[in-house]
């Protein structure tokens, strides 16, 4: 077990992974409002949208307009998903600072999510990575279903390691390991990361937990103990995945930041402003706040104001 890092970089995926799956109406103003409020919390990396087919994921339509109209914060990276060359060209035209390709560790999830096999997806990413390199835009690589697939069940850690290695060798600067349906525990997550870290340097790995089984924080702590220093999270625990029925949202950013503060790990994020942003977006969406820490902090503010 390694010493915990002094600093952790949080990748805020709420405006993408969160909002892509929200059932309610979602105006572009609300999406811009969310990204700008998140910018105000001190987050340095925000995944703002997605350049995918609007027929497949209607909620991410207009991501180009969002990126163009956004008031950007100095030193903040605004990223977007790009499944193919067309998505990449649109992202470049909107001045995305960074882009992400996304593959899966299980065949059925790959077919359902991006309509091609895992091997076909990697072949499709080659020109995306090449063009991004020419444009000087770094590429993140997501790998989904690293613990389990909603259609195929448990996914072997060795397969995850093999694919993470391929994405890394293809030029992804960081591989985000996604427990898409939140089935992992510190046991299975530790085994998976140990396997991947034999092939990809741990400094180039990130973790992406959905909190379906309530294990996300424990899984993050286990990941930090293995040397991981980048954690994906969504404010208010927004979202789910359109191609993974029953999967709940990402771990809530507020919960992650609260835990980091308790561990003495710097994130650069203002916890109260983050909680206020979580309250704002859940009110806009008319949905409940999935962050336990956020809810607790907001309730304590209410009591202080009443008392």
**DSSP, residue by residue, 149-179:** ETTTEE--HHHHHHHHHHHHHHT-SEEEEEE
Binding of ligand HMG by 208 (CB under 6 A) = yes
Options 116, 149, 172, 241, the catalytic residue:
241
SS (H, E, C) 261-296: HHHCCECCCCHHHHHHHHHHHHHHHCCCCCCHHHHH
Between 17 and 98, CB nearer to Mg ion: 17
Q: Cα(24)–Cα(243) distance, rounded to whole angstroms? A: 18
Q: Which of residues 59-88 bind ligand HMG (CB under 6 A)?
A: 81, 83-84, 86-87
- Minimum gap (Å) between residue 304 Cβ and ligand HMG: 36
Helix axes 271-285, 292-306, angle to 10 degrees: 100
Tokens 């983050």 belong to 274
Q: Which helix (H) or strand (E) covers residue 9, if one does?
A: strand 9-12
Dihedral sign for Cα atoms in the order 98, 23, 124, 223? positive
* Binding track, positions 167-206, relative to ligand HMG; x by CB under 6 A: -----------x-x--------------------------
Minimum distance from residue 133 beta carbon to Mg ion (Å): 25
Question: Measured at CB, which residue is nearest to ligand HMG?
Answer: 178
Q: Which CB atom, from 17 or from 22, has the smaller least distance to Mg ion?
A: 17
Of 86-105, which residues contact ligand HMG (CB under 6 A)?
Answer: 86-87, 102
Identify the three-state secondary structure at position 185.
coil
- Kindly determine how many residues on this chain lie close enough to bind ligand HMG according to the rule CB under 6 A: 26
Concerning whether 241 is annotated as a catalytic residue, the answer is yes
**Closest separation in Å from C-beta 222 to ligand HMG:** 18
State the binding partner of 142 from ligand HMG, Mg ion, none, CB within 5 to 8 A by kind: ligand HMG
- Residue 142 sits at the vertex; the CA angle it makes with 18 and 83, to the nearest 5 degrees, is 85
| Active site positions, annotated | 241
- Residues within the interface to ligand HMG (CB under 6 A): 17, 20, 50-53, 55-57, 81, 83-84, 86-87, 102, 113-115, 142, 144, 178, 180, 208, 210, 241-242
């Amino acid at each position: 077990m390694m010493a915990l890092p002094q600093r952790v970089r949080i990748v805020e995926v709420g405006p993408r992974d969160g909002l892509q799956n929200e059932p309610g109406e979602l105006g572009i103003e609300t999406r811009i409002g969310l990204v700008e409020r998140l910018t105000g919390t001190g987050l340095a990396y925000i995944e703002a949208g997605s350049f995918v087919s609007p027929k497949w994921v209607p909620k991410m339509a207009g991501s180009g307009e969002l990126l163009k109209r956004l008031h950007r914060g100095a030193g903040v990276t605004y990223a977007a998903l790009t499944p193919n060359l067309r998505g990449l060209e649109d992202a470049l035209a909107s001045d995305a600072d960074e882009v992400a390709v996304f593959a899966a560790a299980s065949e059925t999830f790959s077919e359902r999510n991006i309509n091609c096999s895992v091997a076909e997806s990697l072949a499709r990413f080659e020109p995306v990575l090449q063009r991004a390199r020419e444009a000087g835009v770094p590429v993140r690589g997501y790998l989904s279903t690293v613990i389990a697939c909603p259609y195929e069940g448990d996914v072997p850690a060795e397969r995850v390691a093999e694919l993470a290695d391929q994405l890394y060798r293809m030029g992804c600067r960081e591989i985000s390991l996604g427990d898409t349906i939140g089935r992992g525990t510190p046991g299975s997550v530790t085994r998976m990361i140990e396997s991947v870290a034999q092939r990809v340097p741990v400094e180039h790995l990130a973790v992406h937990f959905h909190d379906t089984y309530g294990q996300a924080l424990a899984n993050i702590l286990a990941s930090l103990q293995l040397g991981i220093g980048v954690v994906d999270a969504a404010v208010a625990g927004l979202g789910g995945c359109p191609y993974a029925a029953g999967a709940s949202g990402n771990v809530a950013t507020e919960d992650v930041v609260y835990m980091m503060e308790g561990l003495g790990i710097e994130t650069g994020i203002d916890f109260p402003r983050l909680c206020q942003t979580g309250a704002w977006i859940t009110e806009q969406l008319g949905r409940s706040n999935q962050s336990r820490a956020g809810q607790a902090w907001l309730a304590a503010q209410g009591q202080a104001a009443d008392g």
